[in-house]
Structure 1
Amino acid sequence: MITDVTVKHARNKLKEPFITAIRSVDEIETLSITIETDEGLEGLGAASPTLKITGDSFDSIHSAVRGPIKESIAGMPLKSLEQIVSNVRDACVGNTSAKAAVDIALYDLFSKKYQLPLYQLLGGYRNKIMTDMTLSIGKESEMAAKAESLVQQGFKALKVKLGGAFQEDLSRMRRLRQTVGDSIQLRIDANQSWDAKTAVRFIQMLEKEELAIEFIEQPVKGSDFEGMAYVTNHVQTPIMADESLFSAVDALRLVQMRACDLFNIKLMKTGGIREALAIADIAEAAGILCMIGSMMESPISVSAAVHLACGHRNIIYADMDAPLWLENLEEILEDGTIAYDGPRITCLER
């Protein structure tokens, strides 16, 4: 049975600042969770606060984990995984990052108890996945130089952060396509920075110039489901829901409104693996392909997300580059459950 839940705070420096339309960070702040059992097993989970997206801060995550979430699972037998993760979900309102950290630790415990790698426990569909690499928003020349470097490192897909002035963003995309050529996939993440009509006008310009954008993430505010549907129905380029998608309820609403073409699943939004699985299943039934994504997070939570993606056949895209931004990645991943080889991520058999 579960005997204790402990919390530890850490900060890890990035190699360079990560800049989007809504924030700039130069380190990853992590709250790591350890759940202990009377069998001597330890499950590891983690969460990173992203106040502007999830509404969770370091203090709120810590309070939720040490308070109602810990109380909801203390003394429970590990074999009742579905009941335990349900208790975590219902322990408090919101607090998806705190719930994700504990949920990840519980799945880690369960995989250790039954001596199966997590991706096998979750379906075992594959053991490798290819990630894209993100280009922070910045000067056009700097973004082009970075893109060229990443292509030389073997990356076949680049996710471009936009959200500046209309013409500047358009010029950035022209320059990037010219720089990387036609064989590299370019994806755009607007991070909610446009209104619906601006998004349509911008995307139609990309289409007119045949810049061949693979898909565009969250062009409008996450709460603007009608705006998402408007954009999706007025452009040819696939539109991916990110900040609009926190739960299975959101997934159903997006499907019913035909508000997007693709889903981006992130554990810090869903509250962990259990809800993410429900979203992936809903998407599969609706014919919507999924991407596994992350915030700027700890390799612990990123590893769990990679295992989830490898376990489920409907999660075919990956935006799992956050650990690649860390200064001390090799040291952090030394005892981890995933390994990076350029854009290829492998789930390890431990």
Structure 2
Amino acid sequence: MRDISLRHISVPLIKPFKTALRTVETAETIAVVITDGEGRRGYGEAPPTLAITGEQLEGIAAFIRRASALLLGQEPLRLEAALALLQRGAVGNSSARAALDMALHDLAAQQAGLPLYRFLGGYRDTCRTDFTVSVDAPARMAQDAADIAASGFRTLKIKVGLGDVSLDIERVAGIRAAVGPGVKLRLDANQGWSAKEAIRAITAMEDAGLDLELVEQPVPARDLKGLAQVTRSVGTLIMADESVFGPQDAMALLAERAADLLNIKLMKAGGIRHAVTICRMAEACGIECMVGSMIETRIGITAAAHFAASQPNVTRFDFDAPLLLSADPVAGGVRYEGADMFLSPLPGLGITDLKAEYMTEL
């Protein structure tokens, strides 16, 4: 690697994104561009998601600058050696590590002359994403869900976990009535319930025939016993998200059978290298995975989509983040046609440039 540079990207969302953990009005991220000796550029990004990864913009930039000293001069095709250097002495900083990991994978695949999904295994070249309904008043959420379904999305991710459990049940009932039986509903409580509240809410929704596909992270991240209790007490599939960052977390969840599904995010895993490890661990245990994201641009989503497309054990996709932005700061990369996503046949991520009007040099 010849050069590693950073850019700060800031793009307002179309409307505020609300969950049980936070409200986001503007997408902020640090973009990483690694240039090799022949002028090829690899791209990555790291959004500061303080409520989940504990990172802020300044810390991400500082970590990447420190790590850059280890990576400069390394050969991208010696990928494992470069990634091992990146992990050395790194505690936390999962999104910052992910940004560098993405860019290194992008460059390695470019040097190999392959799209990244083929470089990683080449299982498929398309994905179909869900679309998120932010937590709000029940009537507002029902209308939002109906509008999204009418635009062609057949799987909705419903944010709950903010306020009384009875209100969450009302929210989901209203959404099911608004969209009808042909739309899948995934709930995401973002750690907003206790185990008892989760069992009560999910059981009530099952009894009401609301037909949930899954419920994501119903309890606090470190409450593995509570997560396992919920998983064993309800018929609906339970997915771990904030409970699983790296392979060690995945090992604990899988050993306990604390969840039916795992949500892998590059920003939690520290990049593609550990994401592949988690996915294969889950596959060995008969546990399917979803790949999701934070509030990211098409840099991170393109990298996540290439990883997801390369793995047969990834059966669900949550990649709507770029659709929530008021503008697109990325040229090239994954292409959307409604809910369907198509990976570029170009080598690497297929990202060709970043648009200057949305970023500042760091």
> Which TM-score band (shorter chain)?
over 0.9
Q: 1:119 deviation in Å?
A: 1.0
Q: Distance in 1 between matches of 2:75 and 2:295?
A: 33
CA contact (8 A) 1:245 1:263 kept: yes
* Counterpart amino acid of residue 143 in structure 2: A
CA displacement, residues 153-174 of structure 1 (integer Å, 9 cap, x when unaligned) = 1101000000121111111111
Q: What TM-score results when the alignment is normalised by the length of structure 2?
A: 0.94
* 1:39 matched to 2:45: no
Q: Distance in 1 between matches of 2:149 and 2:297?
A: 25
CA contact (8 A) 1:160 1:189 kept: yes
* 1:86 matched to 2:84: yes
Q: 1:184 deviation in Å?
A: 0.5
* Counterpart amino acid of residue 104 in structure 2: L
Provide the residue aligned with 2:193 in structure 1: 194
CA displacement, residues 9-36 of structure 1 (integer Å, 9 cap, x when unaligned) = 1101111110001110111001000112
1:107 aligns with one of 105, 108, 129: 105
CA contact (8 A) 1:22 1:191 kept: yes
Provide the residue aligned with 2:143 in structure 1: 145
Provide the residue aligned with 2:221 in structure 1: 222
* Structure 1 counterpart SS, 2:35: strand
Provide the residue aligned with 2:23 in structure 1: 24
Aligned pairs for 1:163-242 (under 5 A) are: 163=161, 164-242=163-241
* Structure 2 counterpart SS, 1:10: strand
* 1:339 matched to 2:342: no
* Counterpart amino acid of residue 140 in structure 1: P
Provide the residue aligned with 1:287 in structure 2: 286
CA displacement, residues 270-312 of structure 1 (integer Å, 9 cap, x when unaligned) = 0000000001101111111110100101210111001111111
* Structure 1 counterpart SS, 2:233: coil
Q: 1:71 deviation in Å?
A: 2.1
CA contact (8 A) 1:300 1:336 kept: no
Q: Distance in 2 between matches of 1:195 and 1:309?
A: 31
CA contact (8 A) 1:19 1:136 kept: yes
CA displacement, residues 196-224 of structure 1 (integer Å, 9 cap, x when unaligned) = 11111111111111111100000011111
Q: CA RMSD in A?
A: 0.9
Q: 1:79 deviation in Å?
A: 2.2
Q: Which range moves more in the overlay, 91-100 or 270-279?
A: 91-100
Aligned pairs for 1:271-350 (under 5 A) are: 271-329=270-328, 332-333=329-330, 335-350=331-346
% identity of equivalent residues: 42
Q: Distance in 2 between matches of 1:78 and 1:290?
A: 28
Q: How many residues align?
A: 345
Q: 1:91 deviation in Å?
A: 4.0
* Structure 2 counterpart SS, 1:233: helix
Provide the residue aligned with 1:126 in structure 2: 124
Q: 1:86 deviation in Å?
A: 1.5
* Structure 1 counterpart SS, 2:185: strand
Q: Distance in 2 between matches of 1:37 and 1:174?
A: 53
Q: Distance in 2 between matches of 1:183 and 1:160?
A: 15
CA contact (8 A) 2:193 2:218 kept: yes
CA contact (8 A) 1:251 1:279 kept: yes
* Structure 1 counterpart SS, 2:45: strand
* Counterpart amino acid of residue 41 in structure 2: E
CA displacement, residues 62-99 of structure 1 (integer Å, 9 cap, x when unaligned) = 010001x1122121122210111121122421100100
CA contact (8 A) 2:31 2:99 kept: yes
